Structure 1
Amino acid sequence: MLSVFDHGPPLACPTPFNLAAHVLRQADQNANKIALSVLRHDGTEDWTYQALQSAILGTATGLLRAGLKPGDIALMRLGNTVDFPIAYLAAIAVGIVPVPTSSQLTDPETARMVEDLSPAAILRDPSVACAPHPVQIELSDLSQMRDLPPAALQMGDPDKMAYVVYTSGTSGKPRAVAHAHRAIWARQMMVDGWYGLRDTDRLCHAGAFNWTYTLGTGLMDPWTIGATALIPQPGTAPEDLPALLRQHRATIFAAAPGVFRKLLNTPEVLHLPDLRHGLCAGEKLSRHLHARWAEASGTELYEAYGMSECSTFISSSPDHPARGESLGQPQPGRRIAILGPDGPVPQGQEGTIAIHRSDPGLMLTYLNAPQEANSRMQGDWFLTGDQGAMAVDGQITYLGRDDDMMNAGGYRVSPVEVEAALAKFPGITQVGAAAVEVKQDTFVIAAFYTGPEKLDDNALQTYVKANLARYKQPRAFIHLPELPTGGNGKLLRRALPAYFKATHP
């Protein structure tokens, strides 16, 4: 048998359609139900479905009055506050295309995005770094828009572009991934295939409002089915999370593996009587961490695999737990294969994980780089760049990447981007970047460089802080007489972690 999972297509996305309208579809019948609670030790900032819908549609009116038009691109440079999802959904509601970005990005990084996108405006918190742009709608103006009359939702073709997210490619140049309105419809396959989510759930996500993992799993998916989203206030320490989960009766807890690891390293006893299970994504979950969490909390962790180009599409779930070292299986409605050069490989063999082009969650293209999007296709299959093997029951084991992409706290980072930034530093003649394990299941980015002499680590750290987002910044700098290369003189990045172990026993 070949490594193809196909248990039938998902339900077709209705038309006309709008992503924001789909997220708010429960708002009228749940007007007074709490849609969002921002958790604090001394209480909560609560948003009912009615208040949330009013703020989103009022902000949508304000964006139109500010001169933005359907089809315009709006770069989002907002912080970790509720203003972020409100502005995001407001733009989509009236056909404006938002581009959510991490507030950790630096001025030079956002300058490249502005050049790439030519946005009509930037939605801006003045405290968040951003390159100059002639049209900036500031946070204070966005907040006042909430009280405006509601805008009419712009319904249309489900295949129309709804939003753009950035991902780092192996070339080192972040790519703008364009997604259609139908992407939110595809996320329904995650509700049963990963979350086990019910409208009575109180789902707490530990991430920031302006992280796409939080935006989807922590906010939009609970709102779509009428559940309650819980988000800890910015700056909440890991040791404070167990008490907040208990106090606010969280039934599902979602985070990156690193957060679960930190919770297990706190002195707080994980007594979580209301918790049904945890959700984990962003980086590979180790079996060791999984077992520790299950023993300490008495609950399961369900892992999901995805990417910027197609969100999550392989996962374990309460109905289909992962077996052994596997990630789980493709969600119902997905068509997934393991490919070799000539197509699907036999079950059990290693190949590249691939998504069928018909998946409603698959991106439209890379903006300004359609040729790169086309190069990721093998016939009707989109190649993820990750290796895996499919068992006879459809469960998939992750076997690593076929390139050198790094993972830092749940963010995928291209080593080429880090290397390009450091190559400009005086005194560096060659540089390579790799993720290194500093303790069990904990990885950081390290930079390995050559040059006439060892450079000052503090100077290097100051430089990367000014030129790279925090999650892209190396935490260690290793001076070497030469970097490992292959027979063709090409840098062997996969050999670099061994040099770190040799210098940091």
Structure 2
Amino acid sequence: MIPNWLMQRAYLTPDKIALSFEEEKWTFAQLNDDAVVIARKLRANSLNEGERIALLGSSNSEMVVIIHACMLAGLEIVMLNSRLSKKEIAYQLDDSGANTVIVSNELSSVVADTPVRQLLFSTIKESAEQAFVIQESWQSDRTITIMYTSGTTGFPKGVRQTAGNHVSSALSSVLNLGLDEDDVWLCAMPLFHISGFSILVRSVLYGNEVQLHEKFDAVKSAKAVRDGSVTRMSVVSLTLDKVLRELEKDNSVAHSSFKSMLAGGGPVPIDYLKRAKVLEVPVLQTYGMTETSSQTATLAASDAMRKMGSAGKPLFFNQIKIKDTETPGEKGEVFIRGSHVTPGYIGRFSEVDPLENGWLPTGDIGYLDSEGYLYIVDRRSDLIISGGENIYPAEIENVLIAHPNIREVGVCGKEHSEWGSVPVAFVVVSGNVKEADLIAYCEERLARYKVPKSFRFVDELPRNGSNKLLRRKLKESVDLE
């Protein structure tokens, strides 16, 4: 059994600061009180224990309270990505089987055309309260969140994350990072991502403050790192670079109390690590995925220069192996095992077992060196990582192939100085179609960061003997330009 996170934390350290947002602060007792009121209002709106709802909102204090209220009410939460298109969100609502979508007023138009019942944040606030008994403990296999991650099939998978998964992830992290009473974690990651949500989990388990930023702001983040108002921050390479640039503008360094920049979403360029060292910013490279409820391996700051390019060693409760290899340095698919690994998917992939003989195959190619440090060679062979966001070519291809004037399509990534990589589409067309038409077509169906940055009109696509598309050939042609 696992104690109800927020209730237990409010009981243990009621007066500690739990959350700061803009100019306001909440203690754990205040956060719990606010969440209990909203949980009762959710119950008054006929949302009962064990039901699955979807949640769509911005990363602000109101969202934090509603997330905790949903957990107090015993609801399974499908975390919807506010950056997705209407069609993408409609797919997730349909696939998840959520009976209600709880949505902020400013984002209500995104789900207005879906058949799923909609419950506005403002409606909840104005509702009456219905008292009910809040569970003081949870089963470890209780599904807390469901987050969609794009798959190689082109259809996003709804990943279940249980109470046990989240707790295991948080405990592994603290055993690696350590814990101080005055730790404050700057969260500029979206709360619908596992990186953002896991910060909220760690807060109630550790009793630490979260300094929440609605959107990433390099100036605000650099100021917090410099003035010592935060001790930790989660970043991707793109946001790390922007914080470093702000510090470099006035030749400032991180405050002596700042402990770590946890960097995920892809390898950190060596140049960034060198710059960070000069600025006294400890960078901890990490490797994880939605299926592992955040971190699986993390490189200690003390190893950052000695093991450049490594994602570190597996955290305490986790195991990593390279499939079908026996010697250090031998490359293969990365497999993961641990209590932080998802028990499975929902919707169209509900019958798919994520494990092979107890291990999660990641699809990533990597190796372990002689000391057991993990190196990722490819974040999946076809995966495009753009500004820390994962983009699967098959998903874009599935959208484009439905265009009446496209006969064939292949998508690959192209290196980009700011975003790391951006998608490029190769198309074989019939009839008269222009790049501007295809961009507009994609913008209606895909999140903006997934829309190809350029289209190459070709007569044929490279294929092997069985007519399978050879994306590596597309990538080679892009790299030669």
Q: Same fold (TM over 0.5)?
A: yes
Give, in whole Å, the separation in 2 of the partners of 1:60 and 1:446.
45
2:209 pairs with 1:231:
no
State the alpha-carbon separation in 2 of the partners of residues 468 and 113 from structure 1: 13
2:423 aligns to what SS in structure 1? strand
Work out which of the residue numbers 282, 289, 296 in structure 2 matches 1:313.
Answer: 296
Q: Give yes or no for contact 2:386–2:420 (8 Å, CA) kept in 1.
A: no
Do the aligned partners of residues 474 and 199 (structure 1) sit closer, same or farther apart at CA in structure 2, a change above 3 Å counting? Answer: farther
Instruction: Give 2:25's aligned residue.
Output: 46
**Change over 3 Å in CA distance of 1:146–1:223 after alignment to 2:** farther
Q: Pairwise mapping of residues 198-237 of structure 1 onto structure 2 (< 5 A)?
A: 198-217=180-199, 219-234=200-215, 237=217
8 Å Cα contact 2:95-2:347 kept in structure 1:
yes
In 1, Cα distance between equivalents of 2:221 and 2:189:
12
Corresponding position of 1:9:
none
The residue that corresponds to 2:358 in the other structure is 380
**1:173 touches 1:417 (CA, 8 Å); kept in 2?**
yes
Distance 1:441 1:98 in 2: 30
Is contact 2:15–2:27 with CA below 8 Å preserved after alignment?
yes
2:244 to 237, 252, 264: 264
- Secondary structure (helix, strand or coil) at the match of 2:399 reads helix
8 A Cα contact 1:454 1:479, kept in partner: no
Q: Is the 8 A contact 1:386 1:402 kept in 2?
A: yes
Q: Cα gap change, 1:145/1:443 in structure 2, threshold over 3 Å: closer, same or farther?
A: farther
Deviations 1:366-398 (A, max 9, x none): 113557632x43322221111221223221111
Aligned residues: 473
TM-score by length of 2: 0.90
RMSD over aligned Cα, in angstroms?
A: 2.6
Bigger mean CA offset, 185-194 vs 256-265: 185-194
Structure 2 distance, partners of 1:161, 1:95, is 9
What runs of 5+ residues in structure 2 fail to find an aligned partner?
none
Aligned ranges 1:443-462 → 2 under 5 Å: 443-452=421-430, 455-462=433-440
How do 1:11-50 and structure 2 match up within 5 A? Answer: 15=1, 17=2, 21-39=4-22, 44-50=23-29
Per-residue CA deviations over 1:42-87 (Å, capped at 9, x if unaligned) read xx22222122111222222221221112221101122232222322
Q: Is the 8 A contact 2:44 2:128 kept in 1?
A: no
Identity of aligned residues (%): 22
Q: For 2:307 and 2:458, how far apart are their aligned partners in 1?
A: 42
Is 1:139 the counterpart of 2:121? The answer is yes
Structure 1 unaligned spans of 5+: 1-14
d(CA) in 1 for partners of 2:477, 2:219: 34
Q: 1:241 aligns with which of 221, 240, 243?
A: 221
Name which of structure 1's ranges 129-138 and 148-157 shifts more when overlaid on structure 2: 148-157
In structure 2, how many angstroms separate the alpha carbons of the residues matched to 1:34 and 1:351?
45
Structure 2 SS opposite 1:187 = helix
Closer, same or farther: CA 440–70 of 1 in aligned 2, 3 Å = closer
- Once residues 23 and 285 of structure 1 are traced to their aligned partners in structure 2, the CA distance between those partners, rounded to angstroms, is 34
| More displaced stretch, 249-258 vs 192-201 | 192-201
Determine if contact 1:36/1:48 at 8 Å carries over to the other structure.
Answer: yes
Give the match for residue 396 of structure 1.
Answer: 374
The residue that corresponds to 1:7 in the other structure is: none
1:326 Cα deviation (Å)?
A: 1.7
Match of 2:446 among 446, 455, 468: 468
Q: What amino acid does structure 2 have at the position aligned with 1:306?
A: G
* Equivalent residue letter for 2:376: Y
Q: Residue type of the partner of 1:227?
A: N
Structure 2 residue aligned with 1:350: 331
Contact 1:121 / 1:133 at 8 angstroms: preserved in 2? no
My pick for the range that moved more, 207-216 or 301-310, is 207-216
TM-score by length of 1: 0.86
SS at match of 1:345: coil
Label 1:424 to 1:409 Cα distance change in 2 as closer, same or farther (>3 A). same
Query: 1:134 deviation in Å?
Result: 4.7
Q: Which amino acid aligns with 1:230?
A: Q
What letter is aligned with 1:410? G
**Matched letter for residue 112 of structure 1:** Y
Larger helix proportion, structure 1 or 2?
2
